[in-house]
Amino acid sequence: MSVILGSGEHRYRVVEDWAKLPEGWEFRDVAAVAVDSKDQVYVFNRGEHPMIVFDRDGNFLRSWGEGEYPRAHGVHVGPDETLYLTDDGNHTVRRCTPEGKVLMTLGTPGTPAPFMSGEPFHRCTHTAISPDGHLFVTDGYGNACVHKYTPDGRLVKSWGESGSGPGQFNIVHNITADDDGWIYVADRENHRVQVFDTEGRYEAQWNNLHRPCGLYMPRGSCPHCFIGELGPGMAVNRHHPNLGPRLSIVTNEGELVARLGGEDGAGLEPGKFLAPHGVAVDSRGDIYVGEVAYTNWPASFGDEPRPGWLRTLQKLEKV
């Protein structure tokens, strides 16, 4: 029997073994997932084949990026169908064709900016594009800011610093934009999403979240935002209920409308999550969830022996 998550109009069927990989291939941590206008699914992972592309039925289409992306972190499909790939191990953002040809590189490959300098990049994490075409980059693990670029890659401004106040960040981890130009930033270790205008002015924040990691907001009027939450990362609350890991669906004003999973902690069973890190939704409303399960295993399970294989990609089909 299929596992169903959610309730009411937000019900999803867990599709097991969705992705059909070539024989002998495997995902490692799936850091990010994106879907284009043809419902092709781009799986950006930390294995031997960094970018693996599938159709919506999970059939393998192509792969690329071998040897070029030391630590996949974020992928975003722009309005022209080009991809923006964020690699926090290489400190770069690359704009690529759907076949992997690099069209633009931001950052100096292999060379981080000084720690907490506010200069791009020190382990950058994700990208978003506003309706007027500006590119926004969260930066990330060795910085605490957001950078704004022109479409051709010229730095316009940066904002943010380490801290817990409005406009400050503690692991600025993901970013998305809506059609009205609001910029939504996952401030992971402050357990919130902050909302800014395109000039970096603080507008609001969403609370009632636990280590928000992945953000996805479809274009359109008053869309919902899909949020992947990591859940507890400390031994003292590792097994506490109702903290995740999970997916939350909220309105563009932060009102919670649904939660998928997470009531009784991390798990390998269908319908449970280990580490939802990247989220995307296709044209039919199906959700794709990338998980950094290998990296996050110690946080979720402590010294418990890790299985030889972990699930790092899930599809949730809208019922």
- The per-residue pLDDT for 2 is 87
Look at residue 221 and tell me whether its pLDDT is greater than 80. Answer: no
- Residue linked to tokens 């999803």: 12
Distance between alpha carbon 312 and the CA centroid of its chain, in Å? 13
- The per-residue pLDDT for 112 is 98
Closest CA to 65 of 45, 91, 36: 45
- The per-residue pLDDT for 233 is 87
- The per-residue pLDDT for 1 is 72
Closest CA to 244 of 203, 188, 194: 188
Q: Does residue 104 contact residue 125 with C-beta atoms inside 8 Å?
A: no
DSSP H or E segment with residue 259:
strand 256-260
Instruction: Assign 29 a pLDDT band (cuts: 50, 70, 90).
Output: very high
Nearest-angstrom CA–CA distance, 145 and 169? 7
Return the top range by mean pLDDT from 1-10, 220-229, 273-282: 273-282
Q: Per-residue pLDDT averaged across 65-78, rounded?
A: 97
Instruction: Assign 204 a pLDDT band (cuts: 50, 70, 90).
Output: very high
- The per-residue pLDDT for 216 is 97
Q: Does residue 54 contact residue 46 with C-beta atoms inside 8 Å?
A: no
Averaged pLDDT of the chain: 96
Instruction: For residue range 88-137, list pLDDT tens digits in order.
Output: 999 999 999 999 999 999 999 999 999 999 999 999 999 999 999 999 99
Nearest-angstrom CA–CA distance, 17 and 26? 12
User: What pTM value is reported for the model?
Assistant: 0.97
In the chain, where the domains are located: 4-318
Instruction: For residue range 103-112, list pLDDT tens digits in order.
Output: 999 999 999 9
The two three-digit tokens of residue 41, written as one number: 């699914």
- The per-residue pLDDT for 220 is 77
Cα first-last separation, the chain: 14
Q: Per-residue pLDDT averaged across 257-277, rounded?
A: 94
CATH architecture of 4-318: 6 Propeller (2.120)
Percent of the chain with pLDDT over 70: 100
- The per-residue pLDDT for 196 is 98
User: Under 8 Å CB-to-CB from 23, ≥6 apart: which residues?
Assistant: none
Q: Which amino acid is at 161?
A: E
- The per-residue pLDDT for 195 is 98
Q: 3-state secondary structure string, 35-76?
A: ECCCCCEEEEECCCCCEEEECCCCEEEEEECCCCCCCEEEEE
DSSP H or E segment with residue 200:
none
Look at residue 294 and tell me whether its pLDDT is greater than 90. Answer: yes
